[in-house]
Amino acid sequence: MSNRELVVLSVGGVRFVTRASTLQQFPESRLARMLNDDDREFKLVNGEFFVDRDGTLFSYIMDFLRTLQVSLPTDFSDYQRLQREAEFYGLYPLADLLSQEHLLKPRLEILEVHFFLQEMLSFFRIFGSCSTTVETLAEQITVFTGQQSRQSWNTPFPSQKPLIPLPLERPSHHDMAFQCGTDYSAGDQFVARYVSIKPDNRKLINGTNVLGLLLDTLLKDGFRLISTKTVSSEEKIKCYSFERMKRGAGLTVTVNQTPGSSGVAQAKRSQVQKGK
């Protein structure tokens, strides 16, 4: 029986087809022993192994055997039941990872954009509960600056002098600040600051346009606008609040076959950060 290439299981009436090698990822598990007719819980009926367990939860167990990762939907809540199923099948590395429910659960992520317009200058400050998101956003935003004369202001943009990129202000790992617009200096000169936000290639100087592009970028990245309010009536600072559900950490198991181990798999835990 252990030499069969494809195996069909009926778990609580739900049918699964997989390779024998997939079920043998953990040789001491009940699923591996099942192939040797070494477990009475699994009945061979018409060429299919039947077990009276939860078929829906078994789909997550099959995904783990195929990828060696725990990756659950954001709305998943049956951690204890899935852990119990993993223990039933003798998949103790999986049960161990599921016991770390605080790592696997999705977390609510908050981000705020503060916008302040003063004459020809616009000021932005972004606060985020997740430093990784703020870091990624900081890599997307570039501020360019250049000194121009009043006479050159009305000339087409390509004829202006080359612009110099400026670093963003980073007061902490959880926030950033930048500005755009024009600021007159002594004489006939003024300083112009443009903002570019990837993947958009435009260099924008108007603060309202930059704000619109920034908000659109966040919405495309999975954030949801939950409120807009004025946080300072005197300075007219607008605050745009966003939220999104961020996936928990994906946990992975590395299976090593060591000489002299009689084919017994050794599991080592490591943590892999998943996407949004």
**pLDDT, tens digit, for every residue of 98-151?**
888 766 777 789 999 999 998 889 999 999 998 989 999 999 999 999 876 655
**Pseudo-torsion of CA 70, 72, 76, 80, nearest 10°?**
-10
Look at residue 252 and tell me if it is in a domain.
no
DSSP state at residue 164: E
Residue 273 has pLDDT above 70, yes or no: no
Same domain, 203 and 136: yes
Query: Tell me: the pLDDT tens digits for 4-62?
Result: 689 999 999 999 999 999 999 999 999 999 988 777 889 888 889 999 999 999 999 99
Same domain, 177 and 234: yes
What's the chain's average pLDDT? 82
Task: Please enumerate in sequence order all residues whose Cβ is within 8 A of that of 108, keeping only pairs 6 or more positions apart, or say none.
Answer: 243, 244, 245, 246
φ, ψ for residue 248 (rounded to 5)?
-70, 175
Residue 261 has pLDDT above 70, yes or no: no
Residue with tokens 């100087």: 205
Look at residue 258 and tell me if it is in a domain.
no
**How many domains, in total, are found in the chain?**
2
Look at residue 223 and tell me if it is in a domain.
yes
**Rounded CA gap, 122 and 134, in Å?**
20
Look at residue 272 and tell me if it is in a domain.
no
Domain coverage including residue 181 = 109-151+159-245
Same domain, 85 and 172: no
Closest to 173 in 3D by CA, of 143, 213, 131 = 131
Look at residue 265 and tell me if it is in a domain.
no
Look at residue 264 and tell me if it is in a domain.
no
Look at residue 256 and tell me if it is in a domain.
no
Look at residue 120 and tell me if it is in a domain.
yes
Query: Tell me: the pLDDT tens digits for 142-189?
Result: 999 987 665 555 554 444 567 899 999 999 999 999 999 988 665 566
pTM above 0.75, yes or no: no
- Of residues 269 and 84, the one with the higher pLDDT is 84
Give the pLDDT score at 252: 60
Query: Tell me: the pLDDT tens digits for 231-245?
Result: 876 768 999 999 987
* CATH number of the domain bearing residue 87: 3.30.710.10
Same domain, 114 and 198: yes
Q: What is the radius of gyration, based on Cα positions, of the chain?
A: 28
